[in-house]
Amino acid sequence: MNIFDTIGKPLRRFTVNSVNRQILSATIVVSLCSILVKVVAFLKESIVAWQFGASSAVDAFLIAALIPDFMMNIIASPLNAALIPTYMQVREQKGSQVSEQLLAGTLFWSLVLLGIATLLMAIAAPVYLPWMTLGFSREKLTLTFQLLYVIIPLILLSGIVVFCGAVLNAEERFTLVALSPVTAPAATIFLLLAFGQSIGVFALAIGLLVGAVLEVILLGAALHRRGISLRPRIVRFNAPLQKVAQQYPPSMMAALLMCSSGIVDQSMAAMLAPGSVAALNYASRVNSIPLVLISTGLGAAAFTYFSKMIASHDWQGVNRSLRSCLKLIFWVTVPCMLVLILGAEPIVRLLFQRGEFTAIETHLVAQILAAFALQIPFYVACILITRLLISLNLQHILMWGSAFNLLMNISLNYLFMQWFGIWGIALSTSCVYLFSFLYVLFFAHQNLKKITSAGAQ
């Protein structure tokens, strides 16, 4: 039996079920679109490196850009995780008129929340920004403030983008949502080439804003063509809206705890030898390629189809698809993991070893990459099961799981750093994802078993 038969057999078994075929098709489409977006983003990074290098101006921009990105991850994304399962249930059971009222009401309160967050981040900048930039000179800090005030509307714009994208994914319109992030790097490339000499690093900030505006227009137009109104309005705080409001706090807390893990890793890496943070980041970038390409499409597709099956009470379909998807995930991701582990050194050498990046640094980054790669099957499987738990409105389970993950991450980081140095932090991350996979799998199994038993009675 050759390798194609080995991979082909589980793939053919997986696609026997129509929902599995839909999940696989959507995953492939989104992954291909993500590759295109990554290529344009890489071209943008190459132009930024060509024009600015590793300058203080780029440092200032990266710190300023952290704020809207962090706020979007802890406000906008959790809100949609709370909204979409309820939206799909209301649409299936009560019709489009009630579901559109839910969207209008949720969008209104989303804009209020995002508007308050934008205002607070702008007002409080003199408090938190100097603390984030302790090593910056006065001139560099002033530039960071200026860039932040240009970028800060991105909190509101990104929230609208995430909201529109989530609704389109729920409508099974995956392609445009996957392609739309190309607007920001494309706009930045144009501004850098056309006005880079005159406006300098501000081209990066303005490019983000222009890209977000274009993305809102594209996704808003797509929703309009689907007959879905984007007009926010105050609606009666009815049962569906209450359900979204109840699910939002645990979703936000889970997102906050998850975002904190990356900050912990970088902070603890800074306690080691000089260059440790950079080495960790280089390895993380390489490891993120298969993670992003597989999990982005899978997460969007699984969230939509699990929510759809749950809304129609197709519990057998949910169980069957979960088992089939998990089997396929391990068939696909274990070879990816082995390729990165066994080929870590030549891969790092090919990508980075030139100029100031020496063979010693290649060996160090390769060790970290091999430790990071151990997480790949468990990370992707976690994405799938997490989407199922969100579809079941069990965000509180994810909140407690994220808290345990953060505590375990800190503890294992400290322990493994003593034994293995910097690559111990990567090994800690892989162990955390193994624990996280077992945790969410246990609770998914228990809750599906409980629901199925209750439905049979």
Q: CA-to-CA distance for 268 and 423, rounded, in angstroms?
A: 12
Give DSSP secondary structure letters for 23-53.
Answer: HHHHHHHHHHHHHHHHHHHHHHHHHHHHHH-
C-beta of residue 340 within 8 angstroms of C-beta of residue 368: no
- The pLDDT assigned to 11 comes to 45
Q: What is the pLDDT of residues 56-113, one digit of tens each?
A: 676 677 778 877 877 877 777 777 777 777 777 777 777 777 777 787 888 888 888 8
Give DSSP secondary structure letters for 151-202.
Answer: HTTHHHHHHHHHHHHHHHHHTT-HHHHHHGGGHHHHHHHHHHHHHHHHHTTH
Q: How far is CA 97 from CA 100, 122, 226, 234, in A?
A: 5, 37, 14, 15
3-state helix, strand, coil in the chain (%, to 5): 85, 0, 15
- The pLDDT assigned to 6 comes to 46
Q: CA-to-CA distance for 277 and 300, rounded, in angstroms?
A: 31
Alpha helices in 72-137 (DSSP H): 77-94, 96-123, 125-132
For residue 74, the 8-state DSSP code is I
Residues of the chain with pLDDT under 50: 1-8, 11-12, 14-16, 54
Q: Is 83 helix (H, G, I), strand (E, B) or coil?
A: helix
- The pLDDT assigned to 214 comes to 93
- The pLDDT assigned to 213 comes to 92
C-beta of residue 257 within 8 angstroms of C-beta of residue 402: yes
Helix-helix angle 359-373:315-342, to 10 degrees = 160
- The pLDDT assigned to 16 comes to 47
- The pLDDT assigned to 14 comes to 47
- The pTM of the full predicted model, rounded to 2 decimals, is 0.69
Phi-psi region of 227 (alpha: psi -120 to 50; beta: other; left: phi over 0): left
Q: Is 227 helix (H, G, I), strand (E, B) or coil?
A: coil
Task: Kindly give, in sequence order, each residue whose CB lies less than 8 Å from that of residue 366, ignoring residues fewer than 6 positions away.
Answer: 283, 344, 345, 347, 348, 349
Domain positions in the chain: 1-36+248-457, 54-235
For residue 387, the 8-state DSSP code is H
Helix-helix angle 138-151:56-71, to 10 degrees = 40
Q: CA-to-CA distance for 426 and 446, rounded, in angstroms?
A: 31
Record the tokens describing residue 203, joined without a space.
């081209």
C-beta of residue 208 within 8 angstroms of C-beta of residue 65: yes
- The pLDDT assigned to 354 comes to 60
- The pLDDT assigned to 267 comes to 61
C-beta of residue 222 within 8 angstroms of C-beta of residue 168: yes
Q: CA-to-CA distance for 250 and 256, rounded, in angstroms?
A: 10
C-beta of residue 101 within 8 angstroms of C-beta of residue 235: yes
Q: CA-to-CA distance for 369 and 132, rounded, in angstroms?
A: 28
Helix-helix angle 395-420:423-456, to 10 degrees = 160
Name the amino acid, one letter, at 48.
V
C-beta of residue 27 within 8 angstroms of C-beta of residue 36: no
